[in-house]
Amino acid sequence: MATARPLANGNGNAVRSSRPEPEEDEENIFLFYPNLIGYSRVVLAIASLYYMPLHPRTCSILYSVSCLLDALDGFAARRFEQSTKFGAVLDMVTDRCTTACLLVFLASAFPRWSIVFQGLISLDLASHYMHMYATLSMGESGQSHKNVDESRSWLLKMYYSNNKVLFTFCALNELFFIALYLLSFSSPYLSPTLLKDSSNPSTLQPGTPAAPKPSMLFTSPWSAGAMEMARANKMSSTVPWILAVISFPVMFGKQWINVVQLVKASKWLAEGDRKARRKLGLPRRKSKGKKKQ
């Protein structure tokens, strides 16, 4: 292949060509395959939120597909060599937001336990933010939040380095909350007013919200919402209870990992603060003369 040679003037001196060099095509990061999958996850999550108040089956399917695509975008990133910081942040933000939205619904469905769901939202957001910030500020340049030194935490190392472990914990964690969501539509044990007659106040148990008649919510008995509510009252709670019992230990373990992640990230940031203060000569020691005065 012939190479371009510099032109020469009359004196034999090399002269650069005025012809501009062709620029390399700029990659469009936003159209990478894993990021396109990430956008579809956002669309599915928003659709699930739309159906969440009255359509438990449709919502559960859309929400579950959105969660399962979380594994596919990681595979696509490795397969096509399209791992990007934007994709990693998009993935994490989508996970945190969708889980928070589901927990907000559960807090309204089970008001007695709302403080627990509010605590889970806070723990999830705080632990991941602290971990991400600590990695960016204290780690090496370009280091991923999934690259955890085993000397800092063997638990986090195992959690982030093994894709199967990470997928299992995340999937079963979401499965537990989906099971609770379905139980809010199907289990009179958890929602005592679900199958109660709201026209008779004596049937309502203290502390449970009064369930309005379907006719007060839906003017037409053949509307989509009224039909779905009728089906919800006939839903069996057996399968959701089984899913909840199976996934609860893993969900609890996931919350413990969040606590460990929050504590380790806080200690890592504190290490950086101590080093920075030593470089600045802080704390400044008072002279002996001043002490005597």
Question: What is the rounded distance in angstroms from the CA atom of residue 135 to the CA atom of residue 110?
Answer: 36
Catalytic residue among 70, 73, 91, 95: 95
Neighbouring-strand partners of residue 8? 14
DSSP string, 68-89: HHHHHHHHHHHHTT---HHHHH
Token couple for 43: 């669309």
Distance of CA 176 to the CA centre of its chain: 15
Residues contacting residue 173 through CB under 8 Å, at least 6 positions apart? 99, 247, 250, 251, 254
Is 273 among the residues known to form the active site? Answer: no
Where do the DSSP E strands lie in the chain?
A: 7-8, 14-15
Task: Kindly list the catalytic residues.
Answer: 95
